[in-house]
Amino acid sequence: MTESSKKFEIREAKNEIDILNCYPVLKILRPHLKYVEEYIERVNRQHAKGYRLFYIADSEKVLIVIGFTIRERLLSGKTVYLEDFCALNWTIHEELGPLLINWLLSYAKEAHCDNIVTESAFTRYEIHRFYLNHGFKITAHHFSLPLIGKKVPSTSALQESSS
């Protein structure tokens, strides 16, 4: 029996054990989260701001995860912002990814959202193909400015200099 012919349940990671069980999968997508304690703290902080984390597991381990928030944006209206979408390997993603993304589409429609938005590192070609094959469009570039170690003036100093 293949993975796709089994019946899988999509569950929400609501407690620390569930969140911990999702860590091996999310660490693939977010390798900078080297310490499980930091990962749990971040997920808990994000939960407090509306982040939802769902997963599919077999009898032994979590296989695939999807994490998102719902945001109201001037640009796009009520939007599901897909933040995390990863599987233990690409074979699992090919088999269970469509189930999760279709579930998310239904969830977004039931929540009266206008669209789903995500971003992806430019080197993740497989996931780009996946998104395009599931109706997503490339609509923007994403820009980032790391602030750690960067010296910037305080807002009050900037306000004083503009007066």
Please tell me the predicted confidence (pLDDT) of residue 1: 38
Whether the Cβ atoms of residue 82 and residue 116 lie closer than 8 Å to each other: yes
pLDDT at residue 163, as a whole number? 66
pLDDT at 149: 87
Beta strands (DSSP E) in the chain are 11-12, 52-57, 62-73, 77-87, 115-118
- pLDDT reported for residue 142: 83
pLDDT at 156: 85
pLDDT tens for the chain, 163 residues: list them. 344 447 899 999 999 999 999 999 999 999 999 999 999 999 999 999 999 999 999 999 999 999 999 999 999 899 999 999 999 999 999 999 999 999 999 999 999 999 999 999 889 999 999 999 999 999 988 888 889 888 888 888 888 877 6
**How many structural domains comprise the chain?**
1
Q: DSSP assignment of 77-98, as one string?
A: EEEEEEEEEEESSHHHHHHHHH
* Separation of alpha carbons 105 and 151, rounded Å: 42
Collect all residues with Cβ–Cβ distance below 8 Å to 152 and sequence separation of at least 6. none
Is 58 within 8 Å of 9 (Cβ atoms)?
no
68 closest CA partner among 8, 123, 113:
113
Q: Which domain holds residue 17?
A: 3-162
The rounded distance, in Å, linking the Cα atoms of 75 and 24 is: 34
| 3 state SS of 70 | strand
- Look up the CATH number of the domain holding residue 33: 3.40.630.30
Q: Which residues of 141-153 are buried (b: 16+ CB within 10 A; e: fewer)?
A: eeeeeeeeeeeee
Asked if residue 118 lies in contact with residue 131, where contact means CB atoms within 8 angstroms, the answer is yes
